[in-house]
């Protein structure tokens, strides 16, 4: 009797979030079976190849039950509403690591640029020193330190760092919370960048494609592998805003204004809004030209998936209901 091949199966933590939902969909389309953990999983509708598990990433037993037979754990989860981020993020990751040690699963993490401080600017490589100046950056460094320890003890880790997310499923992002407003016609585009300060953006479906490609080739990777994406490079800090305006003009006939982001207002509102508080802490990213180099990714895959910016923005703004 011919032995059946083991099914490709992945656990997605944060499957309703931006990157989690994109990776889940793309892995599913590639023939993978997906287990997804969610606090209120009974509210989720069924999707092809996706099985929902009710539970919490803060409960190791819940994570372990959902990870059964999974070769991959995508750790894309954040505390609800980003509340208590600093105290909850590391315990969540510790549960993922503990479960991966038991199951042998490879951990995949959506990384950020927050790990790096001014001594690594303006061009950042995977091996650049990590000396962040923010609390959030220091927590990110600690997350990677713990993942490095897991890899050193026999585990496998893939980290993909990219610019600011935007895309149809990126509801909680700089793009959808800062530049435009979902479910509203775009009359003004609030641009956070200073003049002639470059900024890096990442279209979520492209990020997910990179992750899926790396997952499929994980046997060829080092036990602890980090990769940087180039994404859409806004060379002078106004190209993203101009692209949004161009897409809106073509779709609606209206020409939005490009305005300076009201940082002064945000400063007064941060005590009452956690998302705005997070935005304010990361203001330095809009005041310095910072670019991640993707040479290592190109060497590994031969290319970086890239959706032309106008098409990516059209898809995004349609889904965010901004082109009516």
> Which residue in 242, 170, 181, 241 sits closest to 18, CA to CA?
170
Q: Say what the pLDDT of residue 1 is.
A: 33
Query: In angstroms, what is the C-alpha Rg of the chain?
Result: 20
Strand partners, 291: 123
Q: Tens of pLDDT along 264-280? A: 777 777 777 766 777 77
Are 73 and 13 contacting, i.e. CB atoms less than 8 angstroms apart?
yes
Find the range with the poorest average confidence among 73-87, 142-156, 300-314: 73-87
Domain ranges of the chain: 9-166+199-232+288-306
Q: Is the dihedral of CA 82, 87, 146, 39 positive or negative?
A: negative
pTM of the complete model: 0.93
Query: How far is C-alpha 36 from the geometric centre of its chain's CA atoms?
Result: 17
CB-CB contact of 186 with 250 (8 Å):
no
| DSSP per position, 244-300 | HHHHHHHHHS--PEEEE--HHHHHHHGGG-HHHHHHHHTGGGGTS--EE--HHHHHH
C-beta neighbour count of 125 within 10 angstroms? 14
Per residue in 203-244, pLDDT (tens digit) is 999 999 999 999 999 999 999 999 999 999 999 999 999 999
CA gap 245, 254 in Å, rounded: 9
For residues 312-319, give the mean pLDDT: 96
Query: 3-state DSSP: the chain helix, strand, coil percent, rounded to 5?
Result: 45, 20, 40
Of 184, 291, 292, give the one whose Cα is nearest residue 237.
Answer: 291
User: By the 8 A CB rule, do 217 and 106 touch?
Assistant: no
Burial class of residue 243 (count of CB atoms within 10 Å of its CB; 0-12, 13-18, 19+): buried
Residues 287-296 have a mean pLDDT of 96
188 phi, psi to nearest 5 deg: -130, 140
Residue 101's nearest CA partner among 151, 158, 62 is 151
Say if strands 50-54 and 232-234 run parallel, antiparallel, or are unpaired. Answer: unpaired
What integer pLDDT is reported at residue 78 of this predicted model? Answer: 80
φ, ψ at 152 (rounded to 5°) = -65, -25
Longest alpha-carbon distance in the chain = 71
Query: Could you report the per-residue pLDDT of 176-191, keeping only the tens digit for each?
Result: 888 999 999 999 999 9
Residue 308 in this model has a pLDDT that exceeds 90: yes
Identify the CA nearest to 214 among candidates 204, 228, 202: 228
Reported as a single tens digit per residue, the pLDDT across 8-52 is 999 999 998 899 999 999 999 999 999 999 887 656 666 778 899
Q: Counting Cβ atoms within 10 Å, is residue 174 exposed (0-12), middle (13-18) or buried (19+)?
A: buried
Q: Tell me the per-residue pLDDT of 137-161, one tens digit each, with 9 for 90 and over.
A: 999 999 999 999 999 999 999 999 9
Position 5 pLDDT exceeds 70: no
Give the Cα separation of 228 and 295 in Å (integer): 8
CATH of 9-166+199-232+288-306, one of 3.40.50.11540, 3.40.50.10420, 2.30.30.30, 3.40.50.720: 3.40.50.720
CA 231/CA 294 separation, integer angstroms: 9
Cα–Cα distance measured from residue 148 to residue 158, given in angstroms and rounded to the nearest whole number: 10
Confidence at residue 45, expressed as pLDDT on a 0 to 100 scale: 65
pLDDT higher at 309 or 169 = 309
Q: What is the pLDDT of residue 3?
A: 36
């Amino acid at each position: 009797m011919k032995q059946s091949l083991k099914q490709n199966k992945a656990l997605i933590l944060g499957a309703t979030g931006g990157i989690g939902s994109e990776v889940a969909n793309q892995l599913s389309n590639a023939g993978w079976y997906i287990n997804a953990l969610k606090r209120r999983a009974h509210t989720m509708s069924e999707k092809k190849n996706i099985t929902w598990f009710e539970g919490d990433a803060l409960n190791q037993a819940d994570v372990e039950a959902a990870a059964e037979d999974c070769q991959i754990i995508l750790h894309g989860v954040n505390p609800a509403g980003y509340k208590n981020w600093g105290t909850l993020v590391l315990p969540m990751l510790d549960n993922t690591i503990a479960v991966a040690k038991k199951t042998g699963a490879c951990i995949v993490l959506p990384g950020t640029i927050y790990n790096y401080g001014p001594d690594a600017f303006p061009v950042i490589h995977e091996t650049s020193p990590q000396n962040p100046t923010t609390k959030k950056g220091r927590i990110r460094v600690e997350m990677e330190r713990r993942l490095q320890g897991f890899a050193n003890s026999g585990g496998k880790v893939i980290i993909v760092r990219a610019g600011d997310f935007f895309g149809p499923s990126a509801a909680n992002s700089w793009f959808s919370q800062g530049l435009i407003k979902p479910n509203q016609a775009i009359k003004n585009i609030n641009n956070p960048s200073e003049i002639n300060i470059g900024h890096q953006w990442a279209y979520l479906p492209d990020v997910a494609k990179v992750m899926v490609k790396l997952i499929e080739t994980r046997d060829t990777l080092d036990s602890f592998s980090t990769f940087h994406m180039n994404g859409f490079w806004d060379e002078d800090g106004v190209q993203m805003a101009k692209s949004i305006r161009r897409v809106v003009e073509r779709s609606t006939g209206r020409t939005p204004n490009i305005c300076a982001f009201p940082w002064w207002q945000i400063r007064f509102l941060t005590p009452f809004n956690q998302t705005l508080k997070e935005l304010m802490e990361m203001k330095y990213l809009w005041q310095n030209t910072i670019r991640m180099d993707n040479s290592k990714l190109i060497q590994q895959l031969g290319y970086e998936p890239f959706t032309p910016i106008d098409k990516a923005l059209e898809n995004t703004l349609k889904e965010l209901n901004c082109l009516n």
